[in-house]
Amino acid sequence: MNGPLEISVVIPTRDRPRDLADVLPTLLNQEHLPLEVIIVDDSYGDKTKRVVDLFKPDFRRIGCELKYVRGSGDGLPAARNLGVKISRGDAILFIDDDTLLDKNVVKAIVTFFEKNPKALGVQPKILSPTAIKIGDLQIRFWNSICKLLMLTYRSENRQKVRKSGMDIFPRNLTKAINAQRFSGCCFCIKREVFKDLKFDENLKRWGFMEDLDFSYRLYKKNPRSLYVISDAKVIHKASKRGRLPPQLSIPMMTIYWFYIFFKDIFKGSILNLLAFLWALLGNFTITLSGLIIKRKPKSEWWNLVYLLKSYILAFKNLKKILSANLDFFNRNLNTGNKVKSYSETR
């Protein structure tokens, strides 16, 4: 590679013009400017385009091109693949539309790649406003329960995939660590990776677990090539704008979990299968226990019904899931109509 590494930023978005207007200034203020910022828009209407047009002069002044392209409407993975196709950088930084960057994020990523030439992917430290407010004792209790039930939990300086398809995410990240997977709201991948890999377009809308699927496949082909760094951070707001209703989001998360588990994790292992089934039971048990203990309103009890129905739907269509045919579910998402944003429940 001749000269310094250049970064293209790709931001898929759908019906979140306000959130997009929040993230763009954090790119304008980067200590190391990206080569370009590409907005892939699946929005209904032209509000997002108006936001991009408003910011274009600011990006032009700093020598960074702000591009706008209409997406296919097929979901986050398809939007990311389109962004890669039209980008020009040596590496592509993927950012969710509800993520805010510290001013040193691009610089820290470039510096890490230059010091670690064998690295193929880098992710900054990701903070959640909700997690920041939760007490340490509460986190420890929740972690112990989720760890036992093969669900996602947090551990210091670890980012791995569990046998159930759930995750271990870092808490109190204090150093650069090797990772088995990336979290989707912000991560950077070298261009050479996309010669052999792309995001799975079977996953529609915001594509639950699309980030695990892509990055874990990359990890398996190139162990010790993915890193999470601690000296740059982003805040994932988990915007409430444009959320899917639970009757769609709950089965989506279930069906896509089944799909990704059998595609990437299972590999014929009985131990992995038992861990997956145990996690399904654990997920149901936690949902039921939480509703009873917290005495949630009637509307929340419907979520338990949706979860049970989604399990039945997944097992009923298991052969289709195993053959990578998700049309039985995806056709219900009506991706051609006005739909919700990508980061709905991340």
Q: What dihedral do alpha carbons 249, 255, 256, 260 form, nearest 10°? A: 160
Q: Considering just the CA atoms, what is the radius of gyration of the chain in Å?
A: 20
**Structure confidence at residue 335 (pLDDT):** 44
Please report the DSSP string for 84-127 in residue order. HHH--SSEEEEE-TTEEE-TTHHHHHHHHHHH-TT--EEEEEEE
Point out which residues pair with 12 in neighbouring strands: 40
Chain center to CA of 110: 21
Going residue by residue through the chain, which has 346 residues, state the pLDDT in tens, using 9 for 90 and above.
567 899 999 999 999 999 999 999 999 999 999 999 999 999 888 999 999 999 999 999 999 999 999 998 899 999 999 999 999 999 999 999 999 999 999 999 999 999 999 999 999 999 987 654 555 666 788 889 999 999 999 999 999 999 999 999 998 899 999 999 999 899 999 999 999 999 999 999 888 999 999 999 999 999 999 999 999 999 998 877 777 888 999 999 999 999 999 999 999 999 999 999 999 999 999 888 877 766 666 667 888 999 999 999 999 999 999 999 999 999 887 644 444 444 444 4
Task: Give ranges for CATH 3.90.550.10 in the chain.
Answer: 7-133+172-236
Enumerate the β-bridge partners of residue 66: 37
Give the distance between the most distant pair of CA atoms in the chain: 62
Q: Which CATH number fits domain 7-133+172-236: 2.60.40.1180, 3.90.76.10, 3.40.718.10, 3.90.550.10?
A: 3.90.550.10
* Contacting residues for 84 by C-beta, under 8 A, at least 6 apart: 10, 92, 191, 194, 198
d(CA 238, CA 186): 12
